[in-house]
Amino acid sequence: MLMLRRRDIVCQQAVELVTDYLEGALSRRNRRRFEAHLRACPNCSAYLEQIRTTVALTGSIKPEDLTPEARADLIDLYRRWRSQ
């Protein structure tokens, strides 16, 4: 956890708190400061939005389909394991 001494946080500190904020890992005090900063700062709001979009985009990565060969190999192995 970052220690924030002054009452207000600046952008450079805010970007370091983004993940702790999204993870719900900020202390109540730091969360309030972070949210206050967001309300006053369109840049950091945009930044947080970008992080959220990045997370959503990453979540849309889907595994590629197995090749028929790879699948057949695995089924062969399965049969061997079962018969042993």
For other proteins, the closer of residues 35 and 49 by Cβ is 49
- Which structure tokens are listed for 76? 């062969």
Judged by the rule CB under 8 A, the positions of this chain that interact with other proteins are: 2, 10-13, 15-16, 18-20, 23, 25, 42-44, 46-47, 49-51, 53-55, 57-61, 63-66, 70-71, 74-75, 77-79, 81-82
Q: Provide the 8-state DSSP code for 8.
A: S
Instruction: In angstroms, give the least distance from the CB of 59 to other proteins.
Output: 5
Nearer to other proteins among residue 7 and residue 12 (C-beta): 12
Could you tell me the smallest distance in angstroms from the CB atom of residue 35 to other proteins? 17
The tokens describing 17, both together, are 């708190």
SS3 content of the chain, % helix, strand, coil (to 5): 70, 0, 30
Rounded-to-integer distance, Cα 72 and Cα 83, Å: 17
